[in-house]
């Protein structure tokens, strides 16, 4: 990958991160002020003694909450991802496998010309790995216990180099923000579901009906659109996370292979990861797009095409292996 492509990729990820944050805040502003609009329309024609929704307290509250969540995602998002996975930081390596991981991390930091990230172990027998953080100076690489047991040193080096590629390309910023936003939107949607399951209702008051007046149809339309938005939000954000991840895995494979000069090792590692059918249960659904292979083992990831690109979180492993083997052939041909 040329330097120009690297800078273009970093600039693209910066822009997309900014757009993601802006879209997130605007979405929450709509949820708040859209609700205020529905309440205002529903109450503006009620008798003077009835409640009239004139102060947009809902919009002010929810928009402020969105701003707080963005700050939290920026400041604490990586920590929450690692906490959710039950990860343990490797401060003093426990055994030869962890020492090897630390050594490989130091080697790849030198090769990538990046600060050494903090290294973490996830207590899960399924082999997997992910990187998180906001920038190279505040980055983390986590691997599962199963990965340490399953891979040879050169294969481990290939996986760690892949994660360094995500760090160098600034994928980690966009993907970590996505993980935090997916979780926040899912939490909000769950809260709405509990409200309605608990019998919650929104009305403009019963007195207008008793006086023979019909409800405001515009208020009903706005209210329906508001509720539909809240219901669809977690689905849309999760699909967005999947689409973003799939496009970046090919680039991270290629960049990682260039860092190690050994594409075949990463191809071999991916074959071993693909052979384990069990899901990586320690990884939360909202963080699945961070991993080198899909921790949920969804079949859509084995397919290609527009639908798979939209619904799948990772490209087909067979295609990734084919591309890496092609790179290995080209490297061998140049060296020969």
- Give the residue numbers annotated as catalytic, written as ranges: 163
Q: Which 3 state secondary structure label does DSSP give 142?
A: strand
CA atoms within 13 A on the CB side of 307: 4
Q: What is the mean pLDDT of each run of 10 residues along the chain (336 residues)?
A: 53 70 79 81 83 86 82 82 93 95 96 95 94 92 96 96 92 80 64 54 44 58 72 66 67 90 94 85 78 75 55 77 89 74
Q: Name the residue among 334, 172, 166 with its Cα closest to residue 261.
A: 334
In the numeric block, which tokens belong to residue 124?
């899960």
Structure tokens belonging to residue 53: 């929704």
| Separation CA 139–CA 315 (nearest Å) | 24
Q: Distance from CA of residue 259 to its chain's centroid?
A: 25
CB 108 within 8 A of CB 164: yes
**Residue 202: per-residue pLDDT:** 47
* Residue 299, CA distances (Å) to 70, 223, 234, 296 in order: 32, 37, 21, 9
pTM: 0.74
- Cα gap 262→256, rounded to integer Å: 9
pLDDT of residue 2: 43
| Furthest-apart CA atoms within the chain: distance in Å | 91
pLDDT given at position 192: 55
Integer angstrom CA distances of residue 166 from 144, 173, 179: 18, 9, 15
Return the pLDDT at 1.
44
Print burial letters for 233-261: b (CB count within 10 Å at least 16), e (below 16): bbeebbebbbebbbebbebbbbbbbbbbe
């Amino acid at each position: 990958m040329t330097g120009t492509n690297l800078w273009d990729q970093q600039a693209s990820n910066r822009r997309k991160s900014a757009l993601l944050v802006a879209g997130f805040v605007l979405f929450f502003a709509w949820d708040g002020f859209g609700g205020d609009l529905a309440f205002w329309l529903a109450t503006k024609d009620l008798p003077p003694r009835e409640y009239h929704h004139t102060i947009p307290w809902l919009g002010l509250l929810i928009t402020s909450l969105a701003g707080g969540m963005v700050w939290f995602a920026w400041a604490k998002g990586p920590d929450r991802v690692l906490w959710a996975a039950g990860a343990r930081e490797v401060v003093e390596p426990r055994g030869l496998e962890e020492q090897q991981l630390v050594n490989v991390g130091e080697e790849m930091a030198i090769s990538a010309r990046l600060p050494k990230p903090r290294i973490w172990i996830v207590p899960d027998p399924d082999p997997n790995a992910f990187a998180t953080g906001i920038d190279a100076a505040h980055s983390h690489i986590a691997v599962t216990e199963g990965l340490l047991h399953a891979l040879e040193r050169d294969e481990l080096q290939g996986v760690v180099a892949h994660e360094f590629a995500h760090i160098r390309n600034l994928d980690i910023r966009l993907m970590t923000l996505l993980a935090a936003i997916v979780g926040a939107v899912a939490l909000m949607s769950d809260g709405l579901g509990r409200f309605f399951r608990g019998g919650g209702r929104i009305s403009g008051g019963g007195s207008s009906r008793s006086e023979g007046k019909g409800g405001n149809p515009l208020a009903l339309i706005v209210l329906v659109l508001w509720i539909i938005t809240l219901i669809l939000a977690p689905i849309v954000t999760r699909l967005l996370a999947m689409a973003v991840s799939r496009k970046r895995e090919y680039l991270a494979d290629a960049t990682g292979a260039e860092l190690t000069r050994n594409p075949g090792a990463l191809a071999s590692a991916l074959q071993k990861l693909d052979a384990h059918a069990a899901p990586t249960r320690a990884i939360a659904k909202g963080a699945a797009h961070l991993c080198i292979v899909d921790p949920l083992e969804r079949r859509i990831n084995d397919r290609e095409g527009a639908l798979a690109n939209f619904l799948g979180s990772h490209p087909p492993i067979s295609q990734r292996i084919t591309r890496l083997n092609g790179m290995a052939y080209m490297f061998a041909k140049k060296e020969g």
